Structure 1
Amino acid sequence: MKLNYIALMISGILLFSVTSCKKDLQDTNQNPNASQNAQPDYLLTAATKSTADTYWGTANNMDASLLFVQHWAKIQYTDPDRYIFSNSAFQELWTTGYSKSIVNLNQIIKIGDEQSNPNYKGVALVLRSWVFQLLTDAYGNIPYKQAASIDEYLTPAYDTQKDVYFSLLDDLKAAQAALDPAGKAISGDVLYGNNIALWKKFANSLRIRIALRIADREPERAKQVFAEIQAEGGLLISSNSETAQLVYLDSPNQNPISNLFDTRDDYRISKTIVDKLFALNDPRLPVYASKTKDPTDKTYVGIPNGLLVGDASNLGFTRTSKPGTYFLAPHAPAVIISYAEVLFDRAEAAARGFTVENAADLYLQAIRASLTQYGTADSEINTYLASPAIQYGASNFRKSIGEQKWIALFGQGLEAFAEWRRLDYPQLQPAVAGTLNGKIPQRFIYPGTEQSLNADSYKAAVTNQGADLLTTKLWFDVN
């Protein structure tokens, strides 16, 4: 994956920025020294990196979803770990998603049509579907149909989560059909370096992810997705080398986690996942957690989620474990969808009767893929796979797949949060000093700006979906 041009491209990127009620800015606040006709390669790099940075960064990952799923915990400034948020806390995903990512990707789709290059259009549809998936997974009902035409719809209506997911399945099916490995080349692709065959696999892998999102509500539609992909040739991500991920470079284009840990020390690995990895004798423990700075009995020490500030700091900065050095490295990848996740998805589809594959075999393949992803030796993998504690339980696929998928998704906070809500495993305990009456958040609250800038649409969404609270369950979350 050729990323040596990312720094050059980022330095010249033109980001198309919009807000819900600031159309005049789009028309008049233009830089006379910059081109107003951005090229698709610059837009593609910009949209990919801005989304990956937000997806893997502080506001949505480290200060929210990683805490909710108890991969990470806070040892200082513990309010987010106790579920205390302002109405601007979840602004970044919304703002970046709409004003940078989707705007740029919509422009690429338009340029692809103008230049008769379906590969630009297909790639942009795949990435746009991922952005919309992140948004609806987090908030629920969101603007989708009218989000493509901000000039026409300054206060876009919200679509139901069901309609968004169904539309994304249509978009990804269209993208997969449009993408042509023998067609025109594209530039600016910092994920797959113009390997269109891998983009087709990426598109289908997102399709099965979304199919399982709707599986508890719309099982027949979900099953249909798997049948369609099979009829089209069944192309899915099929090795760790095909994982969809952005591999970061040196500063200033390093991984956002690496950038944060250069200057801050207020995050630790959660006791919940450390205890689980110890109990399973899981070889990913030294990858996911760093050794304590001062020697301790266990070497790897997590902290409980949601402690009061004093209680957390009393555990000792040098006697508790930071996340593993793998995740703190400047070049650590922002994983969008891994080979292991695809195998877990195939296992679940088989368990649900959507396919005729062997769920138990795919489950073990998924665990192997996750361990291999982090360089675990074959001998350790074989020992782990033989452990009675991790054997597939056909009577409760949610537990087997949910717990191992939770481990495999370490670091991917938004995805792990969605899967934990959907599968209901592992069965997590709320934050020690949580503020939600013994509950764990079930969604992001809408940004406060939506209440003031898009009030009518916001109110209609809340009326349809339920109160704009952290504890309101979304449509896909049945149990």
Structure 2
Amino acid sequence: MKKLLIFLGITLCLFAISCDQGFDELNTNPTAATTVDPAFLLNNAVINSSHVATTLQYDMSIVQQTVTPNSGVLTGANFNQDNRDYTQQNWNRYFPNVIRNTKTAINLATDKPARSNLVQMARIWQAHGFMVLTDSYGDIPYSEAGVGFIDGVTSPKYDAQEAIYKDIIKELTAASAALDASKPKEGADILYQGDVAKWKKLGYSLLLRAGMRLSKVDPALAQATVKAAFAGGVMDSNADNAVVRHNANYQNSIGSILNGTEANNYYLAGPFVNYLKSNNDPRLGAIAVRYVAAASGPQQNAANAKTDPSLQLGMPFGFDNSGIVGQATKDGLASFYAYSQIDRTRLGKQQAPMFLVTHGMNQLLLAEAAQRGWITGSAADYFKAGIRAHMEQMALYDAASAIPKAAIDTYIAANPLDPSKALEQINTQYWVASFLNGPESFANWRRSGFPKLTPNPFPGKDIKGNFINRLTYPNSEISVNSANVQAAISRMGADNLDTKVWWDK
């Protein structure tokens, strides 16, 4: 019996050792990824940089390109009211999906010399993401942002926008210069397929944008930054555009809204349509559709669809869902459903590309820089090139939006740059060229003051001034990162739509 017990003991011991030795293998998923290629993280950041509903509800409505007469869930800049379900969307899109992914990509690739170009690409795209965020909100988490999984920082401090912009300029300068075509190509890159020359142009184009953003608050730094960007080399053509391409799996969020439940609720705003129409701008025919005779949403159909520029009529500001009915009657329409809209079969389709940084916008910024005497070259020539590039860009949305060369030539000849009002002309054209890129339209309009817009006359509003100046922080930040939010508010000003960001002077 004693021998039997000894035998059983040894057997159980050996069994336990055997089980323990195989335990790790038994509880490890053999098909699970143990690491991820940082190129895929960068790609995820690029895809998620495509703008969401905020661009319609706030950015484009503030600068009077689009408007909705509807209240409730669609309340926003149409009534100058604070709807945090929408103001938080840029934040909730960019921090977890753009900043976190670029930070992680940089962290994973930094110690790998062969991935040096990927590090620089991620730094450049991260700078773009931070510009969108700080331009929208002002002071934001920057130095401690996106490192919750890397460093365990779950309540990041908020940095002052001045410090953020100065570091963005350093990042773009260093990353653009460090890109090296002799190093391995990052072929998995979905933006430029690893083309280092194009990434350099993007880096310097963003540096140009960052420099011009500071034209009023710090002219000396603005000039030095713009000169550096110009010397580095910005985009040469529309082939260099930074564009998010959508497909059936990754749909354009704005296109999904315009082709979904809100198809009948968003309209081109009167000031935008009137500007294009009064100047015989051929882009109106490329952008707009009007469902003439439409008395209801279902009647916004192909039979009523007209793209003729002479028939377009933008919806005026100052009306809610009931008030717009009477105004539509005064305008001779069957209903407000007959006002012009973004054509949801062309620029507003679900697979439409999203242009974030473009040759056309760059040329207009160079026109302003030349007008200010900051760079060499003719402001008039840059101005013409910017208009031409954006008009040619219309064909990249959809073949049906292509503008004939003759029409482009005619418009440019009829609209030369007038030195006495050059800044207004240049930045009004930038307003058009940044259409559908809401954060950039909103930022450059605040920075330049052009075009000169009449305040939205809707009587019920949350703002004390004439226009919304920034978006408000998410309620989730206020509740879970309260101390850091309050520190930002004490430095920047109240968390409302009136407070201006640092560079908005």
Scaled by the length of structure 1, what TM-score is found? 0.87
Alignment correspondent of 1:74: 68
Q: Does 1:227 align with 2:252?
A: no
Alignment correspondent of 1:197: 197
> Aligned to 2:341, which of 322, 337, 342?
322
Alignment correspondent of 1:371: 391
> Aligned to 2:84, which of 78, 84, 87?
87
Q: Which amino acid aligns with 2:75?
A: D
> Aligned to 1:342, which of 362, 368, 373?
362
SS at match of 1:282: coil
Residues 451/349 of structure 1: CA separation in 2 closer, same or farther (3 Å cut): same
1:268/1:323 contact within 8 Å kept: yes
SS at match of 1:145: coil
Q: Does 1:159 align with 2:184?
A: no
Alignment correspondent of 2:285: 286
1:40/1:188 contact within 8 Å kept: no
1:307/1:431 contact within 8 Å kept: no
Distance 1:89 1:182 in 2: 45
Alignment correspondent of 2:399: none
Distance 1:166 1:191 in 2: 26
Q: Which amino acid aligns with 1:95?
A: N
2:212/2:226 contact within 8 Å kept: no
Alignment correspondent of 2:37: 39
2:95/2:146 contact within 8 Å kept: no
Q: Deviations over 1:241-260 (max 9, x none)?
A: 111101211x2322222222
SS at match of 2:159: coil
1:430/1:438 contact within 8 Å kept: no
> Aligned to 1:254, which of 251, 254, 259?
251
Cα deviation, residue 114, structure 1: 2.7
Q: Which amino acid aligns with 1:425?
A: F
Alignment correspondent of 2:474: 447
2:387/2:429 contact within 8 Å kept: yes
SS at match of 2:243: strand
Query: Whose Rg is larger?
Result: 2
Alignment correspondent of 2:206: 206
SS at match of 1:275: helix
Q: Does 1:476 align with 2:499?
A: no
Distance 1:252 1:317 in 2: 33
Where does 1:1-400 land on structure 2 (aligned, <5 Å)? 34-35=32-33, 37-52=35-50, 55=51, 57-58=52-53, 60-77=54-71, 79-80=75-76, 81-116=78-113, 117-150=115-148, 151-231=151-231, 234-249=232-247, 251-264=248-261, 265=263, 266-294=265-293, 298-313=310-325, 315=328, 316-324=335-343, 325-374=345-394, 375-387=402-414, 390-400=415-425
Distance 1:188 1:91 in 2: 31
Q: Which amino acid aligns with 1:213?
A: R
Scaled by the length of structure 2, what TM-score is found? 0.83
SS at match of 1:51: coil
Alignment correspondent of 1:11: none
Alignment correspondent of 2:397: none
Alignment correspondent of 2:489: 462
1:74/1:306 contact within 8 Å kept: no
SS at match of 2:431: helix
SS at match of 2:484: helix
Q: Which amino acid aligns with 1:305?
A: F
Distance 2:429 2:502 in 1: 24
Cα deviation, residue 200, structure 1: 0.6
Provide the aligned length of Structure 1 versus Structure 2. Answer: 440
- Would you identify which runs of 4 or more consecutive aligned residues in structure 1 move more than 6 Å? none
Q: Deviations over 1:149-203 (max 9, x none)?
A: 3334332221111111110011111111221223112144221122121011000
Residues 32/171 of structure 1: CA separation in 2 closer, same or farther (3 Å cut): farther
Distance 1:438 1:279 in 2: 29
Residues 229/204 of structure 1: CA separation in 2 closer, same or farther (3 Å cut): same
Cα deviation, residue 404, structure 1: 1.1
1:74/1:312 contact within 8 Å kept: no
Distance 1:424 1:473 in 2: 13
1:213/1:476 contact within 8 Å kept: yes
Distance 1:63 1:322 in 2: 14
Alignment correspondent of 1:404: 429
34-43 or 237-246, larger mean C-alpha shift: 34-43
Q: Which amino acid aligns with 2:109?
A: G
Cα deviation, residue 474, structure 1: 1.3
SS at match of 2:141: coil
107-116 or 198-207, larger mean C-alpha shift: 107-116
2:67/2:317 contact within 8 Å kept: yes
Residues 79/186 of structure 1: CA separation in 2 closer, same or farther (3 Å cut): same
Alignment correspondent of 1:27: none
Q: Does 1:414 align with 2:435?
A: no
SS at match of 1:290: strand
SS at match of 2:470: coil
Distance 1:257 1:154 in 2: 31
Alignment correspondent of 1:432: 457
Q: Which amino acid aligns with 1:114?
A: D
Distance 2:353 2:183 in 1: 28
**Structure 1 unaligned runs (5+)?**
1-30
Distance 2:352 2:288 in 1: 15
Q: Which amino acid aligns with 1:311?
A: G
What fraction of aligned residue pairs are identical, expressed as a percent? 29
2:252/2:349 contact within 8 Å kept: yes
Give me the CA root mean square deviation.
2.2
